[in-house]
Amino acid sequence: FSVAMGIDIENKHIRKNVRTEPASNDPYFLLLVKFYRFLARRTNSRFNKVILRRLCMSRTNRPPMSISRIAQNMKGKDNKTAVIVGSVTNDERMLDCPKVSVCALRFSETARSRILAAGGECLTFDQLALSRPKGSNTILLRGRRNAREAVKHFGKAPGVPNSTSKPYVRAKGRKFERARGRRRSRGFK
């Protein structure tokens, strides 16, 4: 006599934690999502499925990318278009911008002017879909998700051994978190 475990016929406990709709109410953005939902369904291209998934992500999961990082990734990849589901920002440390073709959700004014001045092109996603519906000759890029200031505070509590977390302190002056022996004269730091 053995008792078999019951099967959960109702899918009550199965939960996909993936967004299928963006949180934005921007009508143009929602049209873009609708367009890529159609392309993901009607083309056999994985590219469109990835773009759709990234369009539905939160702002923190769509990090920005600078033109210097794009240039670095596009070195030796002529005739290809960099695709970023996020913003493209300028990098003042880069003196001369190479000729690149970039498709992104938005461009900062200086980034757009520098790309165009170098003879490159700034595309929107609907332009990309019309010219390359299956994402041929494109390179998907994404910014660093953990480059946010908030991430520096995550992890073990500051002050705990082997912790590299940044404390939430107003300033790094003489009278801020220097108590309880936490100063150079007491063998710390």
With beta carbons less than 8 A apart as the criterion, state whether 150 and 126 touch.
Answer: no
More confident residue, 18 or 39: 39
Give this prediction's pTM.
0.82
The pLDDT assigned to 141 comes to 97
Which amino acid is it at 71? Answer: A
pLDDT digits (tens, 9 = 90+) for 19-63: 999 999 999 999 999 999 999 999 999 999 999 999 999 999 999
The pLDDT assigned to 180 comes to 66
How high does pLDDT run on average in the chain? 91
By CB atoms closer than 10 A (0-12, 13-18, 19+), residue 85 is: buried
CB-CB neighbours of 90 under 10 Å: 19
